[in-house]
Every structure is written in structure tokens, then in C-alpha cells.
Chain A
Amino acid sequence: MGIIYLMLIVSLVIALIFLVSFFWATKNGQFDDDYTPSVRILFEDELNQKSNNQTDGSSEV
């Protein structure tokens, strides 16, 4: 029976960790803007590709 108390406490602690991390994320603006990051990640790719191409090109020359 003792084990169930332990499990209960552990589960509560885990839930608390999630709650705290949720607070932390909210405070850091994680949920402020749910559109820009989805678009931004595409730009990054494109730019990297470009700069890769450029460096490739220069190494050939």
C-alpha cells in the first residue's frame, strides 16, 4: 500500500513540474505569438540555403 502513496506524490510532483514549466513558458512569451515562428522557420531554411549556395560557388572559383 505504501507504494501507492509514493506514486501519488511522484505524480503530483511531475504535475507540478509541468505547471511550473507552463508558467515559465507563459512568462517568457511562449504563447504571445503563435503565428510568426511558424513562418520564420521557413525563412531561415531559405536563407541558409542561399548562403550555402554562395559558399559552394566561391569554393568552386
Chain B
Amino acid sequence: MIDFIVSKYNYWIYIILMMIGFYAMIGKRNLIKKIIGMNIFQTAVILFYVSIGCKKGGTLPILEHAHGHAGQVIQASSYINPLPHVLMLTAIVVMVSTLGVAIAIVIMIYLKYNTLEEDEILKAIK
């Protein structure tokens, strides 16, 4: 059991983080806490992606003098996979813009109702 957890520790970390974020998004009543939860949730997904690209003993996928040395044997297994990392650059941009939009909306809510507690806002709307 311990072996099982330790050998796949990256997945455990991402799942735990994700659940923390999920709890904060659903369970917390304060809007800023919800946003923080959302951020943790998205970061967990990003960590998941980053960890699946890695290999033990792998190095950066830069081929020195690759051009003109066509006969050179390339050991794909000794390089980490850069693609998930590059995908995450895009996902981080998406995450930041979601955060920006969410905070902008919270500012609108705060200016209108003067509070960030969901219960009080719902009371004010009714």
C-alpha cells in the first residue's frame, strides 16, 4: 500500500490538491475563498500535466548538432516530454484570465452589496 502511494506520489498530490480546491469552491461561503479554491483546483490540473511529462533521469529535449548528423541515434527515453509543459503555458494563460474575470465580477458584487459573504448577497438580492 505504502509502495503504491509512494510510487505514484505525483498523482496523489494532484488529487489531494484538487479536492482541497473543490471543497473550497463548493463549501466556502466567502467569494474570495471560492476564487482561491478555484485557483488551487486549476493549479492541481497543471501539476498533473507537468508531472506526466517528466521521466526519471530524463534531460531537456534539446538535440545538439542535430542538423547534418542524421545518422546520430536518438534515445527518446532519455529526454523528458516537453509537450505537456508547453500545453500548460496555454492553460496557465487561461487560468490567469479566468482569475481576472472572476475577480472583476467580485469587485462588481462588492461595489453593489458591500459584502463578500454569499448568504448576505443572496439576502440583498431578494
Do A and B make up one complex? Answer: no
* B contact residues vs A (CB 8 Å cutoff): none
* A contact residues vs B (CB 8 Å cutoff): none
